[in-house]
Structures are given as C-alpha cells and as structure tokens.
Structure 1
C-alpha cells in the first residue's frame, strides 16, 4: 500500500518512477487553454486566503452543493472566508475518488508546503499554515507562475477585447509568454436573445462594420482576427453542445442574419445550424491562412440550472455533459475544409467521454502531411480522474500516434493551476510504463524519455509556434 500522495503516487512501478522523475518532473509548463484573467497577470494580483484560491471556482462549488452546503457559504455574500473554507474542507473529506481531492492536496503540498490531509478536523491547522504564506503579500499571480516553471499561458479573450493587458505585458518584457486566445462564441450563438445587440454594438462597433448581412459578419470577424494575430494570437477556441453541419445558400444566410439582428424573428434550429456552419467554415479558412490552431470542444450544456444561474450568473457551476455526438457534423466540416485546402491545425475535445473514440477515428481520416495536424484534445475537468485520463491516452495511442500529441491543458481559472500538469504527467508516465510491463513496448528509457518530453513540452511548443 502506497503512502498518501508520496513522491511516487500514481506511479505503479519502478520503471514508471524513473520515467517521471528523470524526464517529466522538471519540464516547463505550456498551458494552451486556461481562463486565467490576463488582467490578474498584468497587475500581479495578490491572493489573500485559501477560500479565494480553492473555493471560489465552479468545481469546488459543485462539490459543496453535493454535500448540501447552503449557497451563502458557497458563492460568498457576507459569509466569512474562514467559515466558507470550513464547509469546503468538510465536503472534500467525503470526496474520495474525486479529482478535486487530489488537486487540492497537490496545491497544498507544492505551493504552500502544507502536508496536512484536509478535513473538517484539520481545516484550522491548514488555514493557519497557509495564512503565513499569504501574510507578507508575496502570494501573487506572477510568483506562482514562476514557482511552477510556467513558460507560457494562454488566456481567454473575446473578439471585441482591445488586449491592452497583453500589450502591457509585452511592453514590460514579462518573461512568461502570455498569449491571447480568440473566443468567438458570442458571435456564433445566434440563438441567444442578446446576439443582435452583441453583433451591432460590441463586435460591429469594435470592428467598424455595420452588420446586416452574412458577408459583414465575416468582415467583422476577419478584422478582429487580424488584430489578434498582430498581438501574438495563435489559436481560437469554440464551444458547442454538439457540432452540426448544414450548408446554406448565401441569400439564406443573409436573410437569417438580417432578420435576427433586427429583432424580426428568432432563428429556427435549422437556421441556427446553417449560420453556425457558415461561420465555422469561414473561421477555419482564416485560421488556416494564419497558421492558427482551431480548438473545438463540445458535449457542453451551459448554465442548465436556470433558476440558480439567473441569480449567480454564468459559469457558477451549472454546466453539464450533453448526450453523445454522432460525429457526422464534425466529419462533414473537416471534409469541407479539406476539399477547400483550408484545414487548420485543430484540437477537438468533448466533455462526454463516450465521444473520445468517435473523435479520434474521425481525425485519423483527415490527417495531413504535417505530423499531428489534427489532435484529440485532453479530457476536460469532469473526466480528469486517473481512469478518464488513461482512457484518453489509450484512445490517442490506439487511433493515432501518441508521440505527436500535444499533452495537457487545464481550463484553469487561477494561477494555482500548474500542479495539475504534474498530475497528468504522472499518469502519462505510468501509462507508458504499463506498456513496457505488458511487453508491448521495449524498456528503452531513452526512447520513452524523448516521447515524454515531446508530448509534455516540445510538441506544444512547436504546434503553437511558441
């Protein structure tokens, strides 16, 4: 029986231990998908207590709700930070097998040098030990990135953003590369009641385009892509419940855009699909022209608890997995872009683990002469258990070439994300060692070491031109 989260946890053989400690442990971190506010990095935000860094995120909120904690202790309000942390600690103690349990203890060990096992009984001790780290004001975003050996972090930015914080970081010569990511979800979400106002007054005015036709939608997006590109952007991210492919004539698209943007009628489901297909087709071409990576992740239903989301806002922990995608929409989109010789580099992920094998098989049908051009993306947080990560690694290996993969990203909301890369790297090294144990790969540490360095660092660096 292993000791709780010792130096070799998640590593089940001496060979796995050697692979991790010799090749993976000290690699720099490049995280290509986070939601860390770039302003926090530019202004070097100071964190003040454990509640701020461990409790104020959607994953912790879901955990506490599952334990029956009153909402005033989950989302804050007037409840004291220490009291909220107590409720979190009590819930965490019951969460055996939940990845949050491991992540929290990794943060406590690696960032705070705190070796208590967090529970309701130890919460006061943990709070006291960690408060010493907060007391001198050095627990900042930049110090945390430096501590974690983070070489590059990608943020989430809307097309209308002026990217002033990214510009400030460049002017300061900040050594960590902080790169913007183009997130055009609001422009794609034509079913949203606020879509018309967004297109007219946010995207349209920023791009200096008066939008009333499909071509003007393209023009506005193209202008913002050019601006993001000038600011060092290398990738764009898109989220959907599922990907549907439905072609349309230009006059149909003009009618859909003109009618909806002028509040003359909501789009039908078929019209939503026609519009989104047209936008994705255009965006894919633009990304291919500039060498950007197109990230697609689906299987997501946003803010499904409408009663709670109405009071707490979007992103408060009410997203869900959608039912499995049949894959035809994704395959049809890739086929179109391939025929038009405009297939960008692409990372495709799903919140639904049953989609992994479907995605992997589709990507294998459209690979190009550029090794690893299309990537099966990492499982998102709801699948980030050892079982979920091992399954995803297995699909990558069985449906493609694991050595061309771009490893792991966290979808993190704060600068305390980097211990989760350790979590992934341990599981990855153990999975490779298992192949050796089963006689499916020779015990060649040099070859496997190169593969580990490629997947966890070098491939990400070259794929995104960092």
Structure 2
C-alpha cells in the first residue's frame, strides 16, 4: 500500500515503534467480536446483498445522524428515496464528516472490503455505488465472505429470550469456519414500566411452555430460557439501562408489584426499582451458575425526540449521553452478588466519559484474584468508540487498573462492514504505546510490549470467553 494514499500502511501510526507494534503484533491477530447486533439469519443463509445501501446504510443510525446534521431530508435517509439516491446523499455528507470517526470508518471500509481508495464525495458517489454493487454480487462478498475477509474467529450476536435460536442452530451444524454465538438480552422482561410489558410476558410464557402468573413464574420462565440458550452455545448475556437500579426489597413486595402490573394497576417508581433489582440479582446468580459472562451498558438517554420516535420507532438515531449517577447503586449490585460468591465474569460499559474514572476504579473492587481480569471495563461504547474516546478509556484504565488484562474492542454494530473498527482500535492502541516508548516512559522492549498488544487485540478475549 502506497504511503502517498490517505489510508497508507502507517495510517495513524506516528513513529517507528507504533509501526512495529502494529505490523508485527497487532495487524494479523484474529478478531473476536464479542458483542454486536448482526442478523444470524443473514449469516445462516449467507445473504448476498443487492447493493451497498442495503448493506451499509439501512441500519446505521451513526450515518443517519450525520446526514440529518448536514441538512439531508429524511426522505434520503429512512424514507422513500431509492437506494442509489440514499447512497449519493451519504456521499454528499461524507466530506462534512471530517474529524468525525465516520470519515475514517467510511474510507477504511471501502478500502478494506472493496479496494476503493478514492475519497467518497458527491462527485465520486455514483461510480463507487456502481463499482461496489458489482463486487457485492461476487461470492466472496456474501455475508460469510465479508466476515471471513476480516479474519474473524468468533462473533456474538444479541437475542431476546423469546428467540428460538433457529439460525444459530443452523450455523452450528454448518461448515462455516467462524463461531457464531449469541448473547441473552432479557431487558424486555425487566423493564416493567414499558408499554406492552404484559403482552411480552405472554410471548415469554408461550416459548417457555408455561403461563406467567406470578413473579416466581417469571423467574422460572427466564431460567428455562437461560438453560435453552446455554444448550445452544450461549455463554454471554447483555443488559442496557440508564443506570443500575438498587434498593431494599422483600420477595412479598416484589410479587405484589408484579401482580399489580398484571392487573393493570399503577406502580410507583420505588416499586419499579424493587422489581428490577430483585430480578437482576436473580439473573446474576443464574448467570454465575451457568458460568456466563454478564455485560452492562449504562448511561444512554434514549428516544429524546418523541415526534421522530413516533414516526420511525426506537434505535433510529435519537439517543444521546445521559448524566445519571452510576457509582453507588452499581457498587451495591456487584457487592450483593460478590457477597454470596455468585458474581460471574462481568463487563461494564459507560457512555458518559465523565464516568470513566468511576468505572475504571469500580472493576478493581471486585477483581478477587481467582480469574485474570474477571471484572472488565469495556472499550469505548457508542459515542465513545472513536479516537479520543478510546485513548481516554485506555489511559484511564492504564492509570487505575491493568490495561494488560483488557479484552479489547468490539463493534456493537448492525453492519457487516464494521469490522475494520478493530483495525482502527489496534492502530490507536499501538500508537498510544509507541508514543510512550519514544518519550522514554516505556522501555524499548518490543517483545514485552508487543505481547501485551497481541493479548489486548486477541489473546485476552480468547482466554476470557474460551470460544
């Protein structure tokens, strides 16, 4: 790759030490993408996308937000415009994303998957659209082909407890060389205040083979689904809340809250919190029994624009960083499980950078020495999975914990073209260490530091998840 190109070999690598660390220790490491929102149906059927808009734009609210900020009409984002018009609208937007990670990701993805080294803009969009669409018809650019190109060893999608895991079963029986697992996401059973909660319980009861008429019934149903997911290869769960609930409760109080919900009676915010923490503690103990890894994504302020939520639904680009208090209740939750010796491996993610030091120090409270890096502070999430966010996360982790135990990057994406984000992370990681070597803050022991880099990129996650 020429150094005259924008994405040259040493892109983002600022000195010879960073270059050596990346090319010798990071670049060729396999990828374990342990949390994403890819469709297992697409992978099982080895979907061949008709065009780049389907593959790249249809589910990406990062790009949608940028287009809206650039004054692009919704018609060309989620509306009635045709696929080429939507792509060209994105092409028109890309030059205005300078210094946003989307500028880097866009060109990394075009280059790494399709060999396109032109900058995407209004004048190049039409022929890039045509070129990529022709390449997408090639077998090596099917869903599985795109994953294989990126040297993915294992990936983990995210499913609701009511999912039958049909496509995961098909993948386990196939000859596909990449391990595709799932993460159990039971948030709909926990968010008792949400619209449609009782209707969801009926669906959960149906797949569990029982009627849910009490809080104990709910716990039994979720236990059955955890067992079912475990039998189908699941070893992770995932939860996303604004903040961790915690308050004192009794089982009698929680069952009364649940009965009131079933009867359509109002429940107070205090009752909601009692219900949530009771169910979460039960789930946490169950995850420990099955030896799972539990993940908690905390801090998002979701669905801010009610007008657009009503029009387009959730997960369409109307979320932001919240400023919730995190430390005390999160500590109580982890301590309650640890006190019973039932705290399983745990990954914590914050979306508010103001919480960096809170999360970096929280994990140290419950790393008890029986598992290396048992409690993890996850990589920069959502609005923080960019250069500054990643550097701040890794610097804080280095200052207050052990970055050598860090399990590294994940995409958290709905796009099959997002895997160069691992390259992006690895370049930032190597540059961080390379600058410390150049300044004399770290020794010029390339084997020591290189092995640390290799572990952060792959080895630690491979050991932690035992895929």
CA contact (8 A) 1:213 1:253 kept: no
Q: Does 1:15 align with 2:20?
A: no
- Give me the whole-angstrom Cα distance separating, in 2, the residues matched to 1:326 and 1:163: 33
Report matched runs for 1:163-174 at 5 Å: 163-174=165-176
8 Å Cα contact 1:48/1:139 also seen in 2: no
Shift of residue 12, structure 1, vs aligned partner: 0.8
Q: Is contact 1:243–1:325 with CA below 8 Å preserved after alignment?
A: no
Structure 2 partner of 1:415: 416
After superposition, where does 1:160-239 map in structure 2 within 5 Å?
Answer: 160-199=162-201, 201-239=202-240
Match of 2:77 in 1: 74
Q: In 1, distance between residues paired with 2:445 and 2:138?
A: 47
Task: Name whichever of 304-313 and 280-289 sits farther off.
Answer: 304-313
**Which one of 64, 71, 75 corresponds to residue 67 of structure 2?**
64
CA drift at 1:326: 3.8
Check if 1:152 corresponds to 2:150: no
Distance 2:181 2:217 in 1: 27
Can you list the C-alpha shifts for 1:343-385, whole angstroms capped at 9, x where unaligned? 1100000111111210111111111221100000111131122
Q: Which runs of 5+ in 1 are unaligned?
A: none
CA contact (8 A) 2:437 2:444 kept: yes
Query: How many Å apart are 1:458 and its aligned residue?
Result: 1.3
- The aligned counterpart of 1:426 is 427
Match of 1:270 in 2: 270
Q: Please state how far the C-alpha of 1:205 moved relative to its aligned partner.
A: 1.7
> Per-residue deviation at 1:403?
1.0
Residue 285 of structure 2 is aligned to residue 282 of structure 1: no
Question: What is residue 122 of structure 1 aligned with on the other side?
Answer: 124
2: CA distance, partners of 1:274 / 1:179: 32
Other structure's SS at 1:348 match: strand
Match of 2:385 in 1: 384
Paired residues of 2:36 and 2:413 also in contact (CA < 8 A): yes
How far, CA to CA, are the matches of 2:117 and 2:177 in structure 1?
Answer: 31
Task: Map Cα deviations across residues 87-116 of structure 1 (whole Å, 9 max, x no partner).
Answer: 111111111111111101000100010011
Q: Report the 3-state secondary structure (helix = DSSP H, G, I; strand = E; otherwise coil) of the residue aligned with 2:153.
A: strand
SS in 2 for 1:179: strand
The 8 Å contact of residues 195 and 261 in structure 1, kept in 2 or not, is answered as: no
Q: Offset at 1:303? A: 2.1
Q: Secondary structure at the match of 1:181?
A: strand
Q: Residues 199-348 of structure 1 correspond to what in structure 2 (within 5 A)?
A: 199=201, 201-265=202-266, 267-348=267-348
SS at 1:417's partner residue? coil
Whole-Å Cα distance in 1 between the matches of residues 156 and 39 of structure 2? 10
The whole-number CA distance in structure 2 between the counterparts of 1:175 and 1:366 is 36
Q: How far is 1:2 from its partner?
A: 8.2
Preserved contact between residue 300 and residue 321 of structure 1 (Cα < 8 Å): yes
* Cα contact 1:327–1:358 (8 A) shared by 2: yes
1:97 and 1:443 mapped to 2: Cα distance? 32
Aligned residues: 463
2:100 is aligned to 98
Structure 2 distance, partners of 1:326, 1:290, is: 27
Equivalent residue of 1:93, what SS? helix
Does the 8 A contact of 2:380 with 2:393 survive in 1? yes
Q: Tell me the CA shift for residue 231 of structure 1.
A: 0.7
In the alignment, the residues of structure 1 paired with residue 8 and residue 409 of structure 2 have an alpha-carbon distance, to the nearest angstrom, of: 22
Contact 1:379 1:389 in 2 (8 A): yes
Runs of 4+ in 1 over 3 A off after TM superposition: 135-138
Partner SS, residue 347 of structure 1: strand
**Secondary structure of the residue that 1:180 maps to in structure 2?**
strand
- Whether contact under 8 Å (2:334, 2:343) holds in the other structure is yes
Q: Over aligned residue pairs, what C-alpha RMSD do you find?
A: 1.5
> Quick check: 1:197–1:261 contact (8 Å CA) kept in 2?
no
Give me the whole-angstrom Cα distance separating, in 1, the residues matched to 2:186 and 2:308.
25
1:48 to 50, 57, 61: 50
Query: What secondary structure sits across from 2:458 in the alignment?
Result: helix
Q: Answer whether contact 1:184 1:238 (CA < 8 A) is retained.
A: yes
**2-structure distance, mates of 1:137, 1:345:** 39
SS at match of 1:343: coil
Unaligned runs of at least 5 residues, structure 2: none
Match of 2:32, SS state, is strand
Give SS of 1:153's match: strand
Query: Secondary structure in 2 aligned to 1:128?
Result: helix
CA distance in 1, matches of 2:250, 2:33: 39
Q: CA, structure 1 residues 205+86, in 2 after alignment: closer, same or farther (shift >3 Å)?
A: same
